[in-house]
Amino acid sequence: MKLGLMQGRLLPPIDNHIQEFPKNKWKIEFAKLKSLTLDHIEWILTSRSIKEGALNLNIKCFSSKISSICCDHLITDSIFNPNFFHQEVGLACDFALRNNVKNVTIPFLDSAELNHETKKYFFTMVEKSLARFKNLNFLFEVDCDSGLALKLSQLNENFFLTFDTGNITSSKRDVDDWLSKNFVKIKNVHLKDRTINPVETVEPFTGDVNFDKIFEILAKNKYNHLFTIQTARGDTGKEDLTIARHIRKFDKLYNEKFI
């Protein structure tokens, strides 16, 4: 199982943010990967981290353990300005290329949501702006319907999808349909549990995500790409214990379904 985690999950939250770049402690997580039997870290870019100079870091020596550069800084309504997207996604892509990271994750969520009203804009924008980066893979994280996700991923041969268990479930999508229709384009599975009403990220296997069904479908189709833990945080200061507990739960299910 190619299991990793989102950057920062092994460290206390920064200013109460669930997900933020750990400016002064990011190397600590890489040192912990082996003991936790984890394979990779999905690196986070945020507006704050960019202002603090994260794009100037040289992380080449960690590149084999970085699964993707996740562009959280694009989750803003400013994305509907094509110049903003072109410039900001370019910064992330240049950073990835300089540091030998082959994947860039682009979340079209929340205020930057891909839906049937925004699809024409998004499709035109990504085709034009990302054509300059032929040596990168782009993993789009979306919670739109399965058909729209498929159309996005088929715009280019280096366009793929990140399947987020929590987002897809809380958006009330048909998991079987979504996975079946888009399976060949899914290169990463974000693991988190959520309740639907209210929408809230919770401890794995306590919410509405049907992990049993999801893993069954993935195993049936011989999924062999990334899994990335993006689970609910536990007690501050006990991050290692929280993640270790979540790893055991997902390892157990993986072994039941895949082996």
At residue 33, the pLDDT reads 97
User: Residue 34's pLDDT is what?
Assistant: 96
Give the per-residue pLDDT at 16: 87
Structure-block tokens of residue 202:
């919770």
How confident is the model at residue 259, as a pLDDT? 85
CB distance 182 to 146 below 8 Å: yes
pLDDT number for residue 209: 98
- CB neighbourhood size of 39 (10 A): 18
Assign a CATH topology to domain 2-258: TIM Barrel (3.20.20)
Query: Could you give the CA distance from residue 103 to residue 44 in angstroms, rounded to a whole number?
Result: 12
Closest CA to 1 of 252, 256, 251: 251
pTM: 0.97
User: Tens-of-pLDDT digits for all 259 residues of the chain?
Assistant: 999 999 999 999 999 898 999 999 999 999 999 999 999 999 999 999 999 999 999 999 999 999 999 999 999 999 999 999 999 999 999 999 999 999 999 999 999 999 999 999 999 999 999 999 999 999 999 999 999 999 999 999 999 999 999 999 999 999 999 999 999 999 999 999 999 999 999 999 999 999 999 999 999 999 999 999 999 999 999 999 999 999 999 999 999 999 8
- The pLDDT score that the predictor gives to residue 132 is 97
The residue extents of the domains of the chain are 2-258
Which tokens is 79 given? 């994305």
AA letter at 111:
S
d(CA 42, CA 189): 12
- Whether the CA torsion 102, 93, 166, 120 is positive or negative: it is negative
pLDDT score for 40: 98
Computed from CA positions of residues 51, 55, 58, 63, in that sequence, does the dihedral angle turn out positive or negative? Answer: positive
